[in-house]
């Protein structure tokens, strides 16, 4: 079946511009996660959605970052007034969202953001 | 989550089995062993996970020692496309903040022709 998809795959923007990144999770997955990965670095957790609610936004680096999820499916991550340090690969993952068991997260291909 | 230790790099000949070790000596009873890999410029890919029994799927086999302090990921017939960084992580059940995946440095597996 279809996996997690993300768009765009690459985005080059100028410092100060806003960008919007999109994630389509696997159908039926109620949990959705955003991470980012800077060059040569590990995963940095950003936000977790269960349905349309975001019980954990603790990883968002600043108030320039926001995310929403509508209809329990598609999610968008918005970065306002981008800065060069925002350059990274933004990864989305989804899982079934079932409580009490191990939750395997399946990742999308990522959006490579470059802020000039 | 318990800490894991993996060798930084390994080489394997194409067509041979690749055996990637992972130490997780502080794993607790309800923590699972997960393996992901990340091919250059791609998102992480789930491979397999297990609790205490050995597991096999279409991608790999996971052998967990009886004391659960270490495990081995086996790619039975490595191909050039298996060249990637392989991450071993241990995670508890959903709840708390167990959903926050963190990868260590992993093992860079290079499959040579």
Mean pLDDT of B41-65: 95
Mean pLDDT, chain B, integer = 92
Q: Which residue of A has its CA nearest to B39?
A: A109
Return d(Cα A13, Cα A82) in angstroms, integer.
8
Please judge whether B45 and A107 are an interchain contact, meaning their C-beta atoms are less than 8 angstroms apart.
Answer: yes
Kindly write down the DSSP assignment for every residue of A1-48, as one continuous string: ----EEE-SEEEE-TT--EEEEEEPPTT--EEEEEEE-TT--EEEEEE
Structure-token pair, residue A76: 């968008």
Range of lowest pLDDT (A20-29, A57-66, A72-81, B95-104): B95-104
Contacts of A109 in chain B (CB under 8 A): 42-43
Residue B63 buriedness (CB in 10 A; 0-12 / 13-18 / 19+): middle
Mean pLDDT of B56-64: 97
Is B104 an 8 Å CB contact of chain A?
A: yes
Contact in structure between B48 and B57 (CB atoms under 8 Å): yes
Residue B96 has pLDDT above 70, yes or no: no
Mean pLDDT of B27-45: 92
Residue B93 buriedness (CB in 10 A; 0-12 / 13-18 / 19+): middle
Mean pLDDT of A36-42: 85
pLDDT in tens, A73-114: 999 999 999 999 999 999 999 999 877 667 899 999 999 999
Return d(Cα B109, Cα B113) in angstroms, integer.
13
Report pLDDT for A97.
83
């Amino acid at each position: 079946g279809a996996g997690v998809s993300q768009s765009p795959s690459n985005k080059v923007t100028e410092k100060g511009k806003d960008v919007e990144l999109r994630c389509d999770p696997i159908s039926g997955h109620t949990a959705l996660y955003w991470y980012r990965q800077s060059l040569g670095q590990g995963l940095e957790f950003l936000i977790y959605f269960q349905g349309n609610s975001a019980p954990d936004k603790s990883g968002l680096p600043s108030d320039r970052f926001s995310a929403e999820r509508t209809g329990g499916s598609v999610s968008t991550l918005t970065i306002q007034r981008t800065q060069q340090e925002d350059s990274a690969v933004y990864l989305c993952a989804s899982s079934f969202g079932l409580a009490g068991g191990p939750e395997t997260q399946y990742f999308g291909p990522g959006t490579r953001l470059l802020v000039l | 989550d318990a800490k894991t230790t993996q060798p930084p790099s390994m080489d394997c000949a194409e067509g041979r089995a690749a055996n990637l070790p992972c130490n997780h000596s502080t794993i607790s009873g309800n923590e699972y062993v997960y393996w992901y890999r990340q091919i250059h410029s791609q998102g992480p890919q789930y491979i397999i996970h297990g609790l205490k029994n050995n597991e096999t799927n279409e991608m790999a086999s996971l052998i967990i020692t009886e004391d659960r302090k270490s495990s081995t990921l086996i790619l039975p017939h490595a191909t050039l496309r298996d060249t990637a960084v392989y991450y071993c992580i241990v995670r508890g059940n959903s709840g708390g903040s167990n959903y926050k995946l963190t990868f260590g440095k992993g093992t860079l597996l290079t499959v040579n022709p």
